[in-house]
Amino acid sequence: MGHINDVDESCDLQASDDLGSGTGSMRSRSHASRLPAELLTLIFREMQLLHGWNKSHSRPGSRQWLRVTWVCRYWREVALSAPALWSFIQSASACTDHAFVEAALERARRVPLNIDLTFVSHGEKAPSLLASLFVHSQRIQVMRLQMLLETRTMQLFFESMSASRLEMPLLECLSIADRAVDDADGAPLPYLPHLTREQVPRLHTLRLCFAHFPWNSSIYSSLFSLDLVSVRTPPTIEEFLNILRECPGLWMLHVDDALPRVDLAHQPLPEDRSVVILPSLERMSLTGEYPTIAYICDLLWVPCECEVDIEYNNSRGVSADPVEALIPAALPRQHVFREVVPSATLLSLRSEVLVSVEDDEDRISLVHLDFITGEGQHSSVRFDSACGGETDIDADSWLQLLHTFRRAPLTNVNFAPIDTITQVMWRALFHRFPMLDAIEVGASHSQYETEPEDMHGAIPFLQALYELSPDGRNLSAPNLQCLTMKDFPVNADIVARLRWLVQTRKAAGKPLKRLTLDDMVFLDGIKSDTVVAYLKEADPDLVISVTSDESQLCLLNAAAGNG
């Protein structure tokens, strides 16, 4: 075993000198040598975790824990004789770290292996390293391989994998990512070697980035977790659905830009389509172009407990208005939301326009639609459009949204911006969802250079909120307890309306408990502490939080000066 010791002695020699010098150190080592081997192994294990070793994350862990094993010869012997400490083999540059990988494989003996290797240079050494690794394939439980190599080297890499008739009976988690660092010869990269279910009978978690196995491979069956990211040759819609059909126990599905383009105009849903049922799914995340993801969502059924995260990118195939595309066209008709929407207790619809710092003409419209069910599951739909136009919530979209969630037991709503929502529309919302106890609304920053009569929708909202029924007995949103307003300009009229709201609800026996005014732009010299004191006079028990956005006030003042 001498050559194994030599692998780390070269890099840990300084630590050995530091820890082994001095009389006090000799006494410490005398006591340390009495610790039971089982306890020392646990200490080393905790040191591994402390330095990020034996954890699955994007950054490789530190090998600093090895220094601790150099306190004395006894500690070193305990570390070398504990296979569990060497069962996790991680390297950020595997081809130049060949000696450590082979030493760890030998030290791990017969325990299951967790392999996490990245190949970024000296790719010609990869085949020999893989050959050393696959000698132990019977013990591999988790394997993550990431390759950033030249095309020809990548071909040799795959050929060496294909040449090994891999039998991995313990393999449970497999992650493979490859990316050629050159396209000089334009040679297509081959498929990953053809693995069958018989070779990996216990596999339940599969992540593929760029690389992929043939889409008809049985390796995709009986999975619990499937993660596909930017695969070079996406599966057809039918191949993808067949994979899902073969995974009835699937509980996590993540697909990011890994599906083919669909033209809804020329590829309508088949009349005899069979919906794919995923009864065990707990989380689903789909990202891609709107027509493709919308098409898939029409063919999937998930339980109401499932957290759904949909992100549409690119405006191809949809109207210029993302809000119109999201709500009337997509959401109500999609199978994937049919169990989730009726259970929603929180509904949030926010839209904004992001402007590039380098180029004012470079704009992206974002629309976020979120809803949470009574069990706490979160679902979201996000639309990214390169058109860069305004994304106001118009009346038709608003009414369609209320209709879509008409059966949901909503208690929380969050809308921004509310510039186009009228008092009548707010009244319809409060009437349809009487159990609302928390409301959050926001204004649009892009319109601050003007000061409309309704103060960016704040006045119609407040009027609808504090009005009484015709008999003077019933308040709108009678269960409302928490109100949050963000990004609105505030003048004396708005302050007076807020006080009237607080006072009216207090007098009716339905007081607000918390009022939050975030990033407000106070006009005409109004101070936030003055507003708090004024509102507290109407209801001393009300909890009030106020913050201001001075940057937007400066923009308003500058605009007024230029005018």
What does the block give as tokens for 181? 């660092």
Distance, in Å, from the CA atom of 371 to the CA atom of 349, rounded to the nearest integer, reads: 9
Instruction: Tell me the CA distances in angstroms from 146 to 302, 490, 521, one per residue in order.
Output: 32, 54, 50
Measured in degrees and rounded to the nearest 5, phi and psi for residue 291 equal -60, -40
Secondary-structure percent of the chain, ordered helix, strand, coil, rounded to 5: 35, 25, 40
Q: Name the nearest CA neighbour of 246 among 203, 294, 292.
A: 203
Distance, in Å, from the CA atom of 47 to the CA atom of 444, rounded to the nearest integer, reads: 50
Domains of the chain by start residue, with CATH: 1-82 (no CATH), 87-211 (no CATH), 234-403 (no CATH), 411-563 (3.80.10)
Angle 508-511-513 (CA atoms, 0-180°, nearest 5)?
Answer: 175
What does the block give as tokens for 375? 């069990």
| Average pLDDT of the chain to the nearest whole number | 78
Q: pLDDT (tens digit, 9 = 90+) per residue, 231-287?
A: 888 999 999 999 999 999 999 999 998 988 876 655 565 666 688 999 999 999 999
The model carries a pTM of: 0.78
Angle 477-518-559 (CA atoms, 0-180°, nearest 5)?
Answer: 115
pLDDT tens digits, the chain, 563 residues: what are they? 444 344 443 444 333 333 333 334 444 555 666 788 888 888 888 888 777 665 555 455 677 778 888 888 888 888 888 898 888 888 877 777 888 888 888 899 889 999 988 888 766 777 778 888 888 989 999 999 888 776 667 777 777 676 667 789 999 999 988 876 665 444 556 567 778 899 999 999 999 998 888 899 999 999 999 999 988 889 999 999 999 999 999 999 999 989 888 766 555 656 666 889 999 999 999 998 878 888 888 889 888 788 889 888 764 445 445 555 555 445 656 778 877 888 889 998 887 776 555 555 566 667 788 888 877 778 888 777 655 455 556 677 777 778 888 888 999 999 988 888 889 889 889 989 999 999 999 987 554 455 555 577 899 999 999 876 655 567 889 999 999 999 898 999 999 999 999 998 998 888 999 999 999 988 888 999 999 999 999 999 999 999 987 655 454 444 444 44
Beta-carbon contacts of residue 488 (< 8 Å; ≥ 6 apart): 442, 443, 455, 456, 458, 494, 517, 520, 521
Residue 497 has a pLDDT of: 94
Q: pLDDT (tens digit, 9 = 90+) per residue, 202-247?
A: 999 999 998 888 899 999 999 999 999 988 889 999 999 999 999 9
Q: Name the nearest CA neighbour of 484 among 394, 401, 421, 413.
A: 413
Residue whose structure tokens are 């993550």: 144
Residue 23 has a pLDDT of: 39
- Helix 237-245 to helix 290-297 angle (10° resolution) is 40
The pairing of strands 283-289 and 140-149 is unpaired
> In a 3-state reduction of DSSP, which class is residue 327?
helix
Q: Name the nearest CA neighbour of 66 among 110, 145, 4.
A: 4
Q: Name the nearest CA neighbour of 417 among 364, 324, 350, 354.
A: 350
Q: How far apart are the first and last CA of the chain?
A: 83
What does the block give as tokens for 238? 């039918």
Residue 269 has a pLDDT of: 59
Q: pLDDT (tens digit, 9 = 90+) per residue, 372-428?
A: 887 777 888 877 765 545 555 667 777 777 888 888 899 999 998 888 888 988 988
Distance, in Å, from the CA atom of 191 to the CA atom of 197, rounded to the nearest integer, reads: 17
Residue 3 has a pLDDT of: 40
Q: Which residues of 213-236 are buried (b: 16+ CB within 10 A; e: fewer)?
A: bbbebbbbebbbbbbbeebeebbe
Encoded amino acid at 346, one letter: L
